[in-house]
Amino acid sequence: MKKMTLGLAGVVLAMGVAGCSGNAGTGGGSGGEGGNTENAGKAASSGKDQAVTLRIAMGSPGEGLIKVWEDIGKQFESQHENVKVEFTYQDDDTYKFIGLTNLLSGKNAPDLYFEWAGERLKKKVEDGFAADLTEKLKSSGLGDMFEEGTFNGMVVDGKTYMIPTAGDVTNVMFYNKKMFADQGLQPPATWEEFLALCEKLKAAGITPIVTGNKDLWPAGNWIGHLLSRVVGEQAYSDALQLKKPFNSPEFVTAYGYVQQLWDKGYVNDSANAIADNEGDMLFLNGRAAMHPIGSWLVSIAVEEAPELELGYFNLPSISGGKGDQNSVIGVLNGMVINKNSKHIDEAIEFMKLYSSAESSKKLTDAGAVPITKDGIDESAMHPLSLSLNELMQNAPTLVSPPDTGYAIEVANALNMATSQVLGGVKTPEAALEELDRTVAPLKK
């Protein structure tokens, strides 16, 4: 998903994930938050005869944030005797699909590494590369630096394996408030209300929905959420993990809702021909009433269309759907502590420094918006950004986008099927048949 960034396009939230084990690593105790980090760090490092190298791996967060990470690393070294912090940065796609796997299997595996919450984290837990942080978060005080909701998607079988640092709500339906008001419309609560709203807009000569799906992921996020609402989160996840076929009555029903949008003319004819930024601009220029996209649109709208009265609503509930009808689709990510690390306590202490108010200020200045208790400046945030932040933190169920939570080959095949149905090229049945044929060679 191209738009997912460490700083939520510099507006909504930044989350990181770090894991800590209940197993004893090298090093001793830990102190309180913020100003106690230095003393706690020196205590943790005291008594060590050998130098410790704390290895940290991630995709490239950009030059500005790399400088912040390395500044924090230098500060950590100055506060912890005999500890050296070593960073490894890789191209994002390389890191995501092969780089991290190779690093974790290598001789000098990272002690602390960037990862996405949800299915990818679960896989790291299953493979033995994620430390259980449940008790360490409590005893070190690190967990107290975050609101409880920021750990969504980071708990597996009742145990916490991540420390939050960045995230995005990857799809909601943004709408033009003035257009809605002129037509006497309110954000819909149900799918039936949503269709009625689309019909009224169309009758008034207004394109109800515009999207730019040339690169497949924009509708992949939007419709992926719809699929999960209809078939249920487990069936959605099972299919994307190739545990069950996509071509099932439930998925046919789900794609029927997508076909309905095309057949009724509620989506722009150019949906699959234009890029996401072109869809953004059509909406921001008043060419459509609604635009399904992620939370980063807020910053784009502030810059490109400051006079636009922008609102949003989450996907309306679908009667008979097997999924959580209050779910949110989004990504949380951050740092995980390697279960095999000998430096778990040091990794915890590093993440306490990273999550401190002082570091949060540095991250904010670099374009990120930390989500620690001390990191969010509500008075400085755009109201919609703050609202989207709260939407994610309060989500009862967080659904992973196809191309972030799952294998990219499977995600691409699903997103292609979505584009075929959304563009009226194939029926749901035909698209799903082709999808299963495409992913068949990927099954183990």
What does the pLDDT look like over 205-254, one tens digit per residue? 999 999 999 999 999 999 999 999 999 999 999 999 999 999 999 999 99
339-343, 377-381, 396-400, 437-441: least confident range? 377-381
Name the pTM for this structure.
0.75
Token reading at 158: 């009742």
294-303, 332-341, 367-376: least confident range? 367-376
Share of the chain above pLDDT 90, in %: 70
**412-416 long-range CB contacts below 8 Å, 24 or more apart?**
412/216, 413/438, 413/439, 414/220, 414/224, 414/240, 414/246, 415/216, 415/217, 415/219, 415/220, 415/224, 416/216
17-31, 293-307, 423-437: least confident range? 17-31
Contact by Cβ (8 Å): 142, 351: yes
Closest C-alpha to 360, from 113, 84, 5, 33: 33
Burial tier of 311 (Cβ tally within 10 Å: 0-12, 13-18, 19+): middle
Question: How confident is the model over 360-377, as a mean pLDDT?
Answer: 79
What does the pLDDT look like over 80-110, one tens digit per residue? 989 999 999 998 878 988 999 999 999 999 9
Name residue 197's amino acid: L
Closest C-alpha to 164, from 376, 402, 346: 376
- State residue 1's pLDDT score: 57
Share of the chain above pLDDT 70, in %: 88
- Report the C-alpha dihedral over residues 200, 201, 202, 203, rounded to 10 degrees: 50
Q: How many Å apart are CA 141 and CA 118, to the nearest integer?
A: 24
